C-alpha cells in the first residue's frame, strides 16, 4: 500500500485555475458595470431633482404673485452646486405675462423648463 499521495493527487486548486476564476469574475463585473452605466444613472437622478426644483420655484413665484403668505422656505439650487451669484436656475417673464423657469445645466441633452 502506498500511503503517500503524489503531487498530482493533492487536494486544492492550482494557481492557473484560481487566476482563470478571478479573470472570469472580473470580466463579468465589468460587463455589469457597463450595463448599469452609473454616470447616466446619476445624470438622470440630478435631472429629476432639477425638474422638481423648477416646479417648486414656479409654485413659489405664483404664491408670491397671488400674495399668499406661503413663499419658499428655501430657494432650491442645482444638484451640481451653486455659485455665489447663481442657484443654477433661470426665471423669465414674457411680454404676455407668462413666467418660465429653466434649468440650463440639465444633463444628457435634457431640456427642463416649466411655463405658466
The CA R_g of the chain, rounded to the nearest whole Å, is: 29
CA dist 29 and 35 (Å) reads 10
* pLDDT for res 17: 92
What percentage of the chain reaches a pLDDT higher than 90?
Answer: 51
* pLDDT for res 115: 92
pTM exceeding 0.85: no
Q: In what order do the strands lie in the sheet with 112-115?
A: 90-93, 99-103, 112-115
**Three-state SS at 94:** coil
CA dist 88 and 85 (Å) reads 9
Q: Among residues 5, 80, 85, which one has the least CA distance to residue 42?
A: 80
Q: Is the pLDDT of residue 102 over 90?
A: yes
Q: Where are the domains of the chain?
A: 38-115
Amino acid at each position: 500500500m502506498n500511503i503517500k499521495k503524489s503531487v498530482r493527487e493533492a487536494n486544492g486548486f492550482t494557481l492557473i485555475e484560481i487566476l482563470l476564476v478571478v479573470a472570469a469574475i472580473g470580466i463579468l463585473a465589468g460587463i455589469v458595470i457597463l450595463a448599469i452605466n452609473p454616470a447616466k444613472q446619476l445624470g438622470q437622478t440630478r435631472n429629476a431633482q432639477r425638474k422638481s426644483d423648477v416646479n417648486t420655484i414656479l409654485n413659489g413665484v405664483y404664491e408670491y404673485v397671488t400674495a399668499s403668505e406661503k413663499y419658499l422656505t428655501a430657494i432650491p439650487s442645482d444638484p451640481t452646486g451653486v455659485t455665489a451669484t447663481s442657484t443654477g436656475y433661470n426665471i423669465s417673464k414674457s411680454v404676455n405675462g407668462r413666467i418660465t423657469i429653466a434649468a440650463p445645466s440639465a444633463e444628457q441633452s435634457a431640456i427642463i423648463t416649466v411655463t405658466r
